[in-house]
């Protein structure tokens, strides 16, 4: 197969039939001007071929020379969907992306369950390749989204991926991440200012959907916080929970509960909730005059402080 060549393409969104085709896209001179790349793998059964030989595309995929063949030096935005964990390990190890600002990993999966160690070895590999700046692999990365199929990859693997990429992104400011995984991270991320926590459905319904004190340890300088995926009901527990969040984060200016929610409570219930929220704030001697509360879409609650 003749390698494609699109010298003037800056932004590209496409689906591939197998992950081998991603190698074609990222070869040097295929997309020399590419800055924004979104790739969805429609075939989940063929991992990248790492043995010497030729793939179905005719491209030699020996792991020892991928670093010489691939080029990500102009990438600022990268979205990968439905790739195996082994593919991601290989690509991150082979690609140099010094300008990357936004990376999104959606629905990774792993059939072999043996790539945690390989992912943990990435930093060691990077140290050998970039001994003076191994911690700056994603030094321009500003926004990062993790969205895993919980049954397709183990929790240990998910947490390992999150830790490794966060540790390699010193200037990251925006993060979308499952709380179940993020809470397992080991240290504070002082650079993070904007966090979206994807929550899991819990039975019975908890009084608090996440540990506010633990979140404050992870992101002490949080300016905006969002919750998504699971719907938090508009009740007295949520009223108290919101004020606990507000009091815990001194720099918080923006809070969204139930982002992109598709459930709508009755208008009367929303109004009662808003009045109760302000009343509790006044009772706690909090100046509520500058607070703006709005139900933007269904039960998506937005609060400006």
What is the C-alpha to C-alpha distance for residues 105 and 108, in angstroms, rounded to an integer? Answer: 7
Residue 119 has pLDDT above 80, yes or no: no
Report the alpha-carbon distance of residue 225 to residue 67 in Å, rounded. 38
State whether 137 and 186 are in the same domain: no
Let me know whether 161 and 187 are in one domain.
no
Out of 101-105, 114-118, 293-297, least confident range:
114-118
Structure tokens at 234: 């508009």
User: Does the pLDDT at position 164 exceed 60?
Assistant: yes
**Quick one: 34 and 159 in the same domain?**
yes
Domain-embedded: residue 203:
no
Confidence (pTM): 0.74
* Count of structural domains within the chain: 2
pLDDT at 256: 97
Q: Beta strand pairing status for 254-259 and 102-106?
A: unpaired
Question: Which residues span the domain enclosing 267?
Answer: 180-191+212-305
Q: Are 13 and 62 part of one and the same domain?
A: yes
Same domain, 17 and 140: yes
Domain assignment present for 201: no
| Same domain, residue pair 226 and 131 | no
Question: Is residue 53 located within the same domain as residue 168?
Answer: yes
């Amino acid at each position: 197969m003749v390698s494609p060549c699109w010298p003037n393409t800056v932004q590209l969104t496409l689906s591939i039939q197998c992950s081998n085709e991603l190698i074609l896209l990222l070869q040097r001179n295929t997309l020399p001007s590419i800055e924004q790349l979104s790739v969805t793998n429609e075939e989940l059964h063929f991992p990248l071929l790492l043995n010497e030989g030729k793939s179905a595309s005719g491209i030699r995929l020996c792991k020892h020379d991928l670093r010489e063949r691939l080029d990500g030096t102009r990438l600022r935005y990268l979205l990968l969907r439905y790739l195996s964990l082994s593919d991601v390990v290989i690509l991150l190890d082979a690609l140099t992306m010094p300008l990357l600002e936004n990376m999104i990993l959606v629905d990774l999966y792993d059939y072999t369950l043996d790539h945690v160690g390989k992912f943990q070895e990435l930093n060691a590999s990077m140290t050998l390749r970039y001994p003076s700046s191994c911690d700056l692999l994603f030094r321009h990365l500003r926004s990062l989204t993790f969205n895993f199929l919980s049954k397709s990859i183990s929790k240990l693997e998910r947490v390992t991926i999150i830790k490794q990429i966060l540790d390699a992104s010193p200037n990251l400011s925006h993060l979308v991440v499952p709380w179940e995984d993020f809470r397992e991270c080991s240290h504070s991320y002082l650079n993070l200012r904007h966090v979206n926590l994807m929550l899991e459905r819990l039975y019975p319904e908890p009084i608090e959907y996440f540990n506010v004190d633990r979140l404050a340890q992870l992101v002490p300088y949080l300016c905006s916080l969002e919750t998504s995926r699971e719907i938090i009901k508009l009740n007295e527990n949520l009223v108290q929970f919101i004020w606990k969040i507000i009091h815990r984060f001194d720099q918080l200016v923006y809070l969204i509960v139930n982002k992109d929610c598709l459930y709508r409570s009755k208008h009367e219930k929303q109004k009662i909730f808003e009045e109760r929220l302000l009343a509790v704030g006044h009772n706690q001697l909090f100046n509520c005059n500058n607070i703006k509360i709005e139900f933007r879409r269904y039960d998506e609650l937005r609060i400006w402080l």
